[in-house]
């Protein structure tokens, strides 16, 4: 157990005297009603400290140049990698570590208006050669298409929801054998979209 005066104040002994804190030496049996620190608890701490990046979304046509009845294609401006956090303790005879690993899995786009068909699309991410995850919807079966121009000075808020699959493993390596799945993570990005209409003259 490590005592951090910057966050708790007081003295180590004062901390140990508080209700809820029990110090158990390496040669002493733990009380039957007290939780024992183990890798799974450390994994939960690492999970809480995990920060997931927003999807690096790039649209075609560009957000301020969307066109009525023209499908909106999406891709990642850069590849996304795994995100991992390790929690460890090396105190009082303990040497434990656990690592949570989050991998981007699916991307869901929501048009932000009823004047779109469909209103949303979901895509599975693919791992690229050389590592990293990417998406490109140009040849996908589902692409959002805006059906009406936006009012002057207005914009739709297209939202991108990126789901991350999270697991944990014992040790300080992200490549350890996964023990259990953890609740999915999610990161979100928002893009202001304006839609215009292209006028054309057809000549027979």
Residues in contact with 105: Cβ distance below 8 Å, sequence separation at least 6, in sequence order: 124, 125, 163, 164, 165, 184
Tens place of pLDDT per residue across the chain (204 aa)? 333 444 445 555 554 454 444 555 556 666 666 667 789 999 999 999 999 999 999 999 999 999 999 999 999 999 999 999 999 988 767 789 999 999 999 999 999 999 999 999 999 998 887 789 999 999 999 999 999 999 999 999 999 999 999 999 999 999 999 988 999 999 999 999 999 987 655 566
Token pair for 93: 């005879």
Token pair for 71: 């499908």
Domain regions of the chain by residue span = 5-196
The Cα 181–Cα 100 span in angstroms is 10
**Would you state the pLDDT for residue 20?**
47
Interior/surface letters 167-180, b for 16+ CB within 10 angstroms, e for the rest? bbbbeeebebeeee
**Would you state the pLDDT for residue 141?**
96
**Would you state the pLDDT for residue 90?**
85
């Amino acid at each position: 157990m490590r005592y951090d005066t910057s966050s708790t104040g007081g003295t180590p002994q004062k901390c140990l005297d508080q209700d809820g804190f029990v110090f158990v030496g390496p040669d002493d049996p733990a009380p039957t009603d007290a939780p024992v620190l183990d890798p799974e608890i450390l994994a939960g701490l690492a999970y809480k400290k995990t920060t997931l990046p927003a999807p690096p979304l790039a649209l075609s046509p560009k957000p301020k140049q969307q066109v009525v009845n023209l499908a909106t294609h999406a891709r990642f401006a850069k590849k996304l990698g795994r995100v991992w956090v390790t929690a460890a303790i090396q105190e009082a005879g303990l040497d434990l570590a656990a690592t949570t690993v989050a991998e981007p899995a699916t991307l869901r786009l929501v048009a932000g208006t009823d004047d779109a068909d469909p209103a949303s699309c979901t895509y599975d991410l693919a791992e690229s050669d050389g590592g990293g995850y990417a998406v490109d919807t140009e040849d996908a079966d589902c692409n959002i298409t805006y059906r009406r121009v936006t009012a002057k000075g207005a914009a739709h808020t297209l939202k991108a929801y990126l789901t991350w699959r999270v697991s944990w493993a014992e040790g300080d390596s992200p490549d350890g054998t996964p023990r259990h799945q953890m609740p999915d993570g999610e990161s979100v990005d928002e893009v202001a979209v304006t839609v215009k209409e292209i006028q054309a003259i057809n000549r027979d």
